[in-house]
Structure formats: C-alpha cells, structure tokens
C-alpha cells in the first residue's frame, strides 16, 4: 500500500517537474520527513540546494538550449548527467560546475550526442519512481538517505552509506524493470559512524541480514567523486 502511495505521489510531482523543464531527482519521501532522516546537516542540505540552483543558472547563461544538463549535489559532491554536443562542451560544463560556490568534488557522467527526448525523460522518471518505491517497500533499506537519478536507463545512486547499505540499495535498483546499469556515487561511512547517526530505537532493533549479491545481471559501476581543479 505504501509503495503504491509513494509511486502515485512521485509520478505526479515528476510530471509537474517535466512540464517545467526541470530535472527530477528523489532524495527523500516528502519534505519534512526527508529533512529529518537525511544524513547531511541542515546547513549542508541548503548548500546542496544552492549548488543545484546556481549550477542550473550557469548552464542557462552559458549554453541556453544547446545542452541538456542535470546537476545533482549531495554533501557538496556534484553529479553531472545529461547530453552535450561534443567533448568541448562536456569539459566546459565540468569547469563551470567546479567553480560554483561550495562545490568540493565533481563526477562528470555527461553523454556526447543529441539531447534525450521527452519520452526518454518520462521513462527515466518512472524508473526512478519505481526504484524509490521498491526501496520504501524493502524493510532493510532506509529509502530517505538515497538520492536516485536516472538518465537514459542508467541509474545513479548517491548518499552517505555503509558498504553493506550500498550493496543492498544497488541490488534493489538492479531488480527494477528497465534499469540498464547502476552507477554508485556513494560517500562511504563505517558501521560505527552509522550507529551514531541512527535514532536509538533503530539501533536497538534486531538486525536484518543483507542478501549477498550474486554478481549476475545488469552491470554495476562504482564512481569515486574526485576534486576537479579550477582553471
């Protein structure tokens, strides 16, 4: 039931986002709940929002409609996805984003080629919604700690998670129909750090065994964000 409710709410929000030509990413369930369960400080969350807004503004000012670029920031580490006409624009976009205030690392996943169609983007939105709904439906996944971005059927997962949590979230994402590839852009923390972040009632709950991934199925890539020098 909660899975269907989440999917319905997200698809509606996503449709509004697409109509406004804005990228749609999901980091939490709904407003207040997202803030309460996020593993970033409230100040960092605001910084991430500012990075995304300033980055989008820089894209409009420098490229207009020539590129399709989505900018997602988590803990001041920025993921760039979308499409650009050539490697020249790809490099220019990365340099512009690296100069945005508060950015500390950049992962450039831009593709070179024509911009995706509205149909492609709508399909990506549905894949993202299904992944988040599957996370909500999984008792051993804290759905609100992940940002999920989908571009051309490739899913990018962001968040501050343990190796165990990252593997489980990847498994959930890979199980969703339509997913071609999963790219992990995680900031890993230790199990001890996780215990300090969790509310006491969660810490005291019985542990849930995480299934071991078999290694079969769609490819999985782990990307480590690296600082991009400002030129």
User: Average of pLDDT values for 117-140?
Assistant: 96
Confidence band of 129 (pLDDT split at 50, 70, 90) = very high
3-state secondary structure of 225: coil
3-state secondary structure of 189: coil
Name the token pair of 222: 């782990």
**209 in any annotated domain:** no
Q: Could you tell me which residues come within 8 angstroms of residue 14 by beta carbon, excluding any fewer than 6 positions away?
A: 24, 125, 126, 128, 129
**132 in any annotated domain:** yes
Predicted local confidence at residue 210, as pLDDT: 40
Name the token pair of 68: 């399709």
Over its C-alpha atoms, the chain yields an Rg (Å, rounded) of: 17
**220 in any annotated domain:** yes
Q: Give the residue among 211, 125, 206, 220 at the shortest CA–CA distance from 174.
A: 220
Full DSSP string of 40-86: S-HHHHHHHHHHHHHHHHHHHHHHTTS-EEEEEEETTEEEEEEEESS
Quote the number of domains for the chain: 1
* pLDDT score of 90 more than 60: yes
**208 in any annotated domain:** no
**207 in any annotated domain:** no
Tell me the residue range of the domain where 39 lies: 1-202+214-231
Phi and psi dihedrals of 184, rounded to 5? -95, 120
Instruction: Note the pTM of the prediction, 2 decimals.
Output: 0.78
The winner for highest mean pLDDT among 27-31, 35-39, 79-83, 138-142 is 79-83
Greatest CA separation found in the chain? 53
Q: At what angle do helices 163-174 and 118-137 cross, to 10 degrees?
A: 120
Mean pLDDT for all residues in the chain: 82
Predicted local confidence at residue 3, as pLDDT: 55
**27 in any annotated domain:** yes
């Amino acid at each position: 039931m909660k899975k269907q409710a989440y999917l319905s709410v997200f698809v509606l929000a996503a449709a509004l986002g697409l109509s406004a030509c804005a990228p749609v990413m999901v980091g939490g369930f709904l407003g207040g709940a997202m803030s309460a369960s996020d593993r970033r400080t409230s100040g960092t969350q605001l910084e991430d929002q500012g990075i995304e807004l300033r980055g989008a503004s820089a894209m409009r000012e420098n490229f207009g409609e020539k590129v399709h670029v989505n900018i997602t920031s988590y803990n001041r580490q920025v993921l760039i996805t979308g499409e650009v006409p050539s490697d020249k624009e790809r490099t220019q976009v990365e340099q512009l984003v690296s100069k945005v205030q508060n950015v500390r690392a950049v992962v450039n996943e831009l593709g070179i080629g024509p911009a995706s169609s509205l149909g492609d983007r709508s399909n990506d939105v549905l894949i993202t919604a299904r992944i988040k709904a599957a996370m909500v439906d999984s008792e051993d996944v804290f759905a609100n700690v992940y940002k999920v971005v989908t571009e051309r059927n490739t899913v990018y997962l962001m968040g501050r998670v343990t190796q165990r949590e990252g593997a489980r979230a990847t498994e959930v994402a890979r199980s969703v129909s339509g997913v071609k590839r999963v790219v992990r852009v995680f900031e890993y923390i230790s199990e001890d750090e996780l215990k300090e972040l969790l509310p006491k009632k969660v810490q005291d709950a019985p542990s849930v065994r995480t299934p071991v991934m078999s290694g079969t199925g769609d490819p999985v890539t782990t990307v480590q964000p690296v600082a991009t020098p400002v030129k």
